[in-house]
């Protein structure tokens, strides 16, 4: 298997073939996920929740991200590795360049940041400097305090139109991928169809180009289960390898997410 690139994921979108992504934070899971054929690994700042036991992703530092990205990259997975820019490390374009450089040098091939049109200049600058960027809209966990909790986003006409406009602006700025988190399925479908870049969903229904889940959630070992997660480990008789292979296959076949894992 060759290393997966962003161009490959763009090709899959054009062909209408779905792709899968899981979070990972260490070398062992990096290898297991790669062997299952999963196209992407996100070293997410969700490590604040599942590794560090924090309530939110806000306390995660750049040093934390660099450490875990290096652990994942050390396993040399075939997956494209994407790393999150942590809380308040991309408030200005210049600050974002330094943070993104550290994330790429730690071993990522793409960076992800949370927010809408206000990131236009930052994304354009990173793109000009040769860094592939993924934007993240919908429920953006770094802004959970401003959003008033972990809630579905874009349910009314005003916020839905704003999300579509943001998505188009971020693509125009140069974003190569978009993550939509906790967004009604119809809106996610519309956004995905309106963009040429791959759109990856988490709690965004089946009509997007790829799916991402937090590893600990889909293995059923997180302290709480949320609507958009399926416990693949329970279905795989307790085998982690089989659970990850099942997830990948169910995404490819468009059996996951089902309506019961999606929002209206």
Catalytic center residues: 181
- From the CB of 111, what's the least distance to ligand KIV, in Å? 12
Q: How far is the CB of 52 from ligand KIV (least distance, A)?
A: 12
| Among 25-33, 43-51, 157-165, 188-196, the segment contacting ligand KIV (CB under 6 A) | 43-51
Output the smallest distance, CB 237 to ligand KIV, in A. Answer: 26
With b for 16 or more beta-carbon neighbours within 10 A and e for fewer, the 52-82 pattern comes to: eeeebbbebebebbbebbebbbebebbbbbb
Total number of residues that touch ligand KIV (CB under 6 A): 11
Nearer to ligand KIV, 134 or 240 (CB): 134
Reference 201, options 176, 218, 184, 215; nearest CA is: 184
Q: Which stretch binds ligand KIV (CB under 6 A): 40-48, 118-126, 151-159, 182-190?
A: 40-48
The one among 46, 89, 153, 192 contacting ligand KIV by CB under 6 A: 46
Sole residue written with tokens 């298997």 = 1
Q: Which two tokens stand for residue 10?
A: 């763009």
Q: Which member of 36, 126, 191, 212 binds ligand KIV (CB under 6 A)? A: 212
By Cβ distance, which residue is nearest to ligand KIV? Answer: 44
Of 23, 30, 171, 185, the one binding ligand KIV by CB under 6 A: 23
- How many other CB atoms sit within 10 Å of the CB of residue 117? 16
- Cβ proximity to ligand KIV: between 45 and 166 the closer is 45
d(CA 47, CA 103): 15
What stretches of the chain show up as alpha helix (H) in DSSP?
6-15, 27-35, 47-50, 62-74, 93-106, 120-128, 144-147, 157-173, 185-194, 215-218, 232-235, 240-252
- Interface residues with ligand KIV (CB under 6 A) are 23, 42, 44-46, 84, 179, 181, 202, 212, 214
């Amino acid at each position: 298997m060759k290393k997966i690139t962003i161009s490959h994921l763009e090709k899959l979108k054009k062909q209408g073939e779905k792709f899968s992504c899981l979070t990972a934070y260490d070398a062992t899971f990096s290898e297991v996920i790669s062997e299952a054929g999963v196209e992407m690994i996100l070293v997410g700042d969700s490590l604040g929740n599942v590794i560090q036991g924090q309530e939110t992703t806000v306390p995660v530092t750049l040093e934390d991200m660099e450490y875990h990205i290096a652990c994942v990259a050390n396993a040399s997975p075939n997956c494209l590795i994407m790393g999150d820019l942590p809380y308040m490390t991309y408030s200005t374009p210049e600050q974002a360049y330094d943070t993104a450089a550290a994330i790429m040098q730690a071993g990522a091939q793409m960076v992800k940041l949370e927010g809408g049109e206000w990131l236009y200049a930052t994304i354009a600058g990173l793109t000009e400097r040769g860094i592939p960027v993924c934007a993240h809209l919908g429920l953006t966990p770094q802004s959970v305090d401003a959003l008033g909790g972990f809630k579905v986003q874009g349910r009314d006409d005003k916020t839905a139109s704003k999300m579509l406009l943001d998505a188009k602006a971020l693509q125009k700025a140069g974003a190569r991928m978009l993550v939509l988190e906790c967004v009604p399925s119809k809106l996610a479908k519309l956004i995905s169809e309106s963009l040429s870049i791959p759109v990856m969903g988490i709690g965004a229904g089946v009509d997007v180009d790829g799916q991402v889940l937090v590893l600990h959630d889909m293995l059923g070992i997180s302290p709480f289960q949320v609507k958009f997660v399926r416990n693949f480990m329970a279905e795989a008789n307790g085998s982690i390898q089989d659970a990850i292979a099942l997830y990948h296959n169910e995404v490819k076949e468009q059996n996951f997410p089902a309506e019961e894992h999606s929002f209206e």
